[in-house]
Amino acid sequence: MHSTIARELQKMILRPSTRYFINMIEEKLLKKCPVIQKDILIAEDIFGPDIKALKGKIAQRKTGRIDTF
C-alpha cells in the first residue's frame, strides 16, 4: 500500500533518483510523510526504475560527423 504512495510521491516531487528520495525521507525533509525507506525499495522492486526520471537524467551523445559524397 505505501509502496504505491511512495511511487506517486516520487512523481509529485519531480522524480528524484531513488537514492536521493531515500535520503529525503531519512532526513525528514517531507513533513508528515507516511513513506519509509522500505516502501521506496519495495516500489522499486514492484514497478522497476522510474523510466521518465531516467530519461530526463541520461545525457544524449552527439553522433560524429558523417560526410556524404
Please tell me the distance from the alpha carbon of residue 46 to that of residue 30, in angstroms, as a whole number.
23
pLDDT at 45: 94
Reduce the secondary structure of 1-44 to three states and give it as a string: CHHHHHHHHHHHCCCCCHHHHHHHHHCCCCCCCCCCHHHHHHHH
pLDDT at 38: 96
pLDDT in tens, 41-59: 999 999 998 877 777 666 6
Percentage of the residues of the chain whose pLDDT score is greater than 70: 90
The mean pLDDT value for 3-31 works out to 93
Mean of per-residue pLDDT scores for the chain: 86
pLDDT in tens, 28-41: 999 999 999 999 99
